[in-house]
Amino acid sequence: MSNTVQPDVVLVNPGNRLQIYQSLGATLSAIEPPVWPALMATFLRRRGFSVELLDANALDLTPEDTARQIVDMNPRLVVVAAYGHNPSASTQVMPAAGAVCRAVKQAKDDVKIIMLGGHVAALPERTLQEEAVDYVCTGEGLFTIADLLECLKANGKLSAVRGLCHWEHGRPVRTAPAPNVEALDEEIPGMSWDLLPMHEYRAHNWHCFGFLDRRQPYASLYTTLGCPYHCTYCCIQAPFKEGERALGYVPQVNSYRLWSPESVVAQIDQVVNTYGVRNIKFADEMFVLNKRHVNAICDRLLERGYDLNIWAYARVDTVKDGMAEKLRAAGFRWLCFGIEAGSRRVRDEVLKSYEQEQVYRTIQTVRQAGISVIANYIFGLPEDDNDTMQATLDLALDLNCEFANFYSAMAYPGSPLYEQAIRHGWPLPDTWSGYSQHSVDCLPLPTKYLSGSEVLAFRDHAWNTYFERPAYRDMIERTFGIETRRHVEDMAAYSLPRRYANGVGMPVR
């Protein structure tokens, strides 16, 4: 990173892996490229702005270290991006993002700072009031940052900056909304990989089962933005809703934008041939959805013959006939499915409806094609009680997928569930770190029948039960070898301290 010339903007990816993941952050969790800042860098560069990108998370910088580097670069504008490993992880990044902003202001008070992210877009006025920033974005932020840079260069009026929340006469005010970027191939053809410390990134441990010594190098990228579904616990559309309104979308419709297969595979060409990447995550909220898009990407990867280890998100109702075999041939070794709950009543309540038999059929189809499955489950959805949570655990044990994530239900800002919690006065975490699934102060949403601490205690019990079973470990050894089994045994020995996982002391709504 060069500081010989003042950049127009420094894009900052904050992070504190130990706070978010505790001991899991040291070796087990991924260190992911910051997709949104790297896309923003491309968008701004194509408009003639000079850009630096500081990945404090990957470089494991303290807020003070981050602030010193920013002050040394003396940018016109600092952009702090509050995004995380997965689409629902923006809120848990807020403590680290806020710490960076405070450190920068303490080091040099006149540095202009704007914050953006899914959490920020959901709560712009509150973020402006709580954090040491000058501005926040009310949408996805790309046009907002470009407008703001032009405004600062020309000493113009902030009212001309679209999608901005800022102080005016002692109160937060919003400007007119900014549209979402529609022409992705032209405006953001790819990430600015050259600005990233590519040697620092590593894949999740499970992503490299069978070859755990080859978790680096690693890359993640988007092929689409958004999701057409409406699961009530999901906040993925939060940064897009204002831009959708600006483009004339009705509130009931979610945008879903696609890069062309040519643009996607051009990015893969770059990371493979320039950085030697084999492990790749497609970070799309829902990659296996548009069959034409998926097939076209697979066809181009098949032409190249790369030996890739890709994982992506899917739904049990989006894997169509023949897709699994083509995905595997193209290098997809893992698919992640949001199975969520073992009770139809619980699933229907959060608009995640499918037949139980469809879960078994799809998982069997995918695994028969040679693709491993990581299954996501959620405990503590609004209709959950002890029996339905046990049904979810029983389903997980019966499927016995190659890996499983066990989550507690969180009312993330930007999700319909958060709006419902606020409307009804349901108890929420006192701190943003309390929304992190693996933090010390993690506090799930209570259900109609259980307290948040009871939900968390069951979630941790479910995790231990799943990974300590001989049936699971035997399957892992057969599939990936004895070294991976030993790794799983070591992983299962980790214990996360929890402040609220005693099963008592928290209210039931």
Contact assessment for residue 35 and residue 221, using Cβ atoms and an 8 Å cutoff: yes
Q: Provide the residue ranges of all domains of the chain, joining segments of one domain with +.
A: 9-174, 193-430
Residue 509 confidence (pLDDT): 52
Instruction: Spell out the residues 6+ positions from residue 300 whose beta carbon is closer than 8 angstroms to its own.
Output: 261, 262, 265
Beta pairing class for 171-174 and 164-168: antiparallel
Dig out the tokens for 254 from the structure.
């979610």
What is the mean pLDDT of the segment spanning 39-65?
96
More confident residue, 16 or 239: 239
What is the mean pLDDT of the segment spanning 469-477?
98
What's the CA angle centered on 50, arms 74 and 76, to 5 degrees? 35
**Core vs surface per residue 92-113: b (16+ CB within 10 A) or e:** bbbbbbbbbbbbbbebeeebbb
The 10 Å Cβ neighbour count of residue 497 is 10
Counting residues of the chain whose pLDDT is more than 70, the rounded percentage is 94
- Residue from 67, 60, 70 nearest 1 by CA: 70
Q: Is the pLDDT of residue 24 over 60?
A: no
More confident residue, 441 or 161: 161
Contact assessment for residue 195 and residue 41, using Cβ atoms and an 8 Å cutoff: yes
More confident residue, 85 or 473: 473
The dihedral over CA atoms of 460, 462, 468, 470, expressed in degrees to the nearest 10, equals 180
Class of domain 193-430 as given by CATH: alpha beta
Residue 41 confidence (pLDDT): 98
What's the mean per-residue pLDDT of the chain?
Answer: 92
Q: How confident is the model at residue 350 (pLDDT cuts 50, 70, 90)?
A: confident
Residue 452: CA count within 13 A, CB half-sphere: 23
Residue 504 confidence (pLDDT): 45
| pTM for this predicted structure | 0.93
Q: How confident is the model at residue 195 (pLDDT cuts 50, 70, 90)?
A: very high
What is the mean pLDDT of the segment spanning 412-434?
92
Q: Is the pLDDT of residue 84 over 90?
A: no
Dig out the tokens for 171 from the structure.
């109160």
pLDDT tens digits for range 217-266:
999 999 999 999 998 989 989 999 999 999 999 988 999 999 999 999 99
Residue 470 confidence (pLDDT): 97
**Core vs surface per residue 435-448: b (16+ CB within 10 A) or e:** bbbbbebbbbbbbe
Cis upstream peptide for 239 (omega within 30°): no
What is the mean pLDDT of the segment spanning 165-175?
96
pLDDT tens digits for range 271-290:
999 999 999 999 999 999 99
Residue 151 confidence (pLDDT): 97
- The single-letter DSSP state of residue 322 is T
Residue 20 confidence (pLDDT): 47
CATH code given to domain 9-174: 3.40.50.280
Spatial distance between the Cα atoms of 112 and 58, rounded to a whole number of angstroms:
24
What's the CA angle centered on 373, arms 370 and 379, to 5 degrees? 165
What is the mean pLDDT of the segment spanning 55-78?
96
Residue 22 confidence (pLDDT): 45
Dmax over CA atoms of the chain, in Å, equals 67
Instruction: Output the 3-class SS for 1-60.
Output: CCCCCCCCEEEEECCCHHHHHCCHHHHCCCECCCHHHHHHHHHHHCCCCCEEEEECCCCC
- Residue from 215, 218, 217, 222 nearest 239 by CA: 222
